[in-house]
Chains A and B, each alone.
Chain A
Amino acid sequence: MSAKVKELTDRYVYDVARRLPQAQRDDIEKELRGLIDDMLQARTGHMPPSVDDVTAVLKELGRPQELAAKYRGTKRYLIGPDYYDIYWLVLKIVLGVSGIGLVIALIVSNVATPPQNAISAVAESFGGIISGLIQAFAYVTIAFALVERFNKKSPWDEIDWDPKDLPPVPNANQKDTVIIKRGDPIAGLIFGVIGLVIFNAIPWILGYVVASDDLVSVPVFNLDVLRSMLLLINVLICLGMLKDMLRLIAGRYTLKVSLSIAAINIAMLVLNIVIFLPPAIWNADFLTSLYAATGVELFVSQGAQAFWAVLPTIVVVLASIGYVSDTGMTLYRGIRGSSWRGETV
C-alpha cells in the first residue's frame, strides 16, 4: 500500500471516528480499516491499489459525517421537532416584547438627556436594539437547546393523548367568550415591560416633566419610598405578565386557566393595596412643587389638596374594581369554556 493511499485511508477513518462516542471509536476504526482494505482488494485483486482506487472506495463509503451518523443511529438537532413549535412561539413573544421594551427605553433615555449628535445617537440606539435582540434570541435558543440536549424522551410521550382533549371547533357564539384573542395579552406584556423599565430606571418620569432648556421633573411618587418598594412593584408587574403569558399560551378559557388567573388577580389586588394605599409612597410635596414649577395657583388650592389626599384611595379602589371585574369575567368565561368542552353547551 503506497503512502498516499494509507494517508487517505487514515484521514477518512479518523474523520469518521472523531464523530463517534469515545467508547466505540477504536472498535469501529479497526473494523472500518479492514473494510476499506477488503474493498480495495476486491477492486484491484493482488495489485497494489492506486490513489484513484482508494478515492473510489472512500466515495462509495460516503461522506464521513453521513457514515458516522449511520453508526450513531440517531439524528441530532439543536432544537428538534418535539420542541420546535413552542420554541418558535416563545421566540416570537420574547423578541417582540424585548424589541418594544428596548425601543421605548431608548426613546425615553434620549428624551431625558438629549444627545449631542442626533445622527450618532440614532445609530447607537439602532445598534443597541439589534444587539439586545440578538441576546434575547441567544438566551431563548440556548435554553431550548439545553432542554433538547438533556431531555432524551419526547415530552409528548409522557402525556397520554385522548381525542376528548382536542379543542372544539369554535362556533360564532362561543368564539368571543371562550377564545382568548392574542392582542390583549400581547398588549399586556408590552405594558408590563414598559412598566418595568419606567419603575426601575426612570421613575421620575411619572409626573410633571418639562424638557426645555432645563429638565424639570415633579414626580408623582416619593422616589425614596418607591425605591424601597421596588421589589414588590416588580413582583406586581411580573405577576401581570405571568397572567398574560398564561392567556397567550392557553389560547382559550378553561376552568383551570380561569382559576389560575383568579389566583394571580387576588395576589395582585393585595400587592396593589399594600404598595399604593399607604400615603408614604406618594410625593407629599407634589402640589407645592408643581406650583413652584408652573406658577399655577390652582395647584395649591384647598380643593386640589383634598383631591391629592384621597388620590391613593381612588387609585387603589379603581384598580381593585378592575381586578375583581376581570376575575369575574374570567371565571364566567372559564365556566362556559369547560361546559362547552363537555356534552352540554
Chain B
Amino acid sequence: MEDLNDIVTNLEQELRRGTVTLCVLSRLNKPKYGYALVEELSNAGISIEPGTLYPLLRRLESQGLLASEWETSGSKPRKYYTRSEAGERIYKLLCGEWDDLTRSIDRLIHEEGE
C-alpha cells in the first residue's frame, strides 16, 4: 500500500501546481530574474523550486504571457521577465477565476455536507 505520507505530499503538490502560475504572474508587473522571484515567493510563503520555476518562466514566455530581456550591465548576465500585454489580460482573468474558486471552495469546506 502507498504510504499515507506520500499520498498527502502528492495531493498537496497537485493542489499547488495550478496555483504557481498565478503566483508567478502576480510578481511580474516589474521585470525580475528567476532567482529573485524564487526568493520573493519563498518570503511570501510560496516555496517553488528553481528547477520548476525556470522552465515555467520559459513556457509562459513561449505562450506569450511574459516578455524577457537579458540584462548584461551587472556583474553577471541575467534574464529578466515581465508580464506582456497578453499576460496582463490573462493575469486579470485568472485573478477573477481564483476569487470565484476560493469563494466556492471556502463555502464547501466550511459548511457541513448535507
CB within 8 Å of B: which residues of A?
A: 24, 27-28, 30-32, 34-35, 37-39, 42, 60-62, 66-67, 70-71, 73
Contacts and interface: CB of A to CB of B under 8 A. Distances in A.
Contacts, number: 47
A39 B77 contact: no
Contact of A35 (B54, B58, B59, B70): B54
A103 to B, nearest CB: 45
A60 B51 contact: yes
A70 B50 contact: no
Contacts of B39: 42
Contacts of A67: 51, 55
A31 B50 contact: no
A31 B54 contact: yes
B51 A61 contact: yes
Nearest to B59: A73
A28 B59 CA distance: 12
A34 B71 CA distance: 11
Label chain B's interface by main secondary structure: helix
Contact of A34 (B52, B58, B59, B79): B79
B50 A34 contact: no
A44 to B, nearest CB: 14
Given A34-B79, A38-B35, A73 B55 contact: yes
B17 interface: no
B78 A34 contact: yes
B31 interface: no
Contacts of A66: 51
A35 B36 CA distance: 10
The 6 closest A-B pairs by CB, nearest first: A38-B35, A70-B55, A71-B55, A61-B51, A62-B51, A31-B79
Nearest to A67: B51
B55 A61 contact: no
A210 to B, nearest CB: 67
B14 interface: no
Contact of A61 (B33, B50, B59): B50
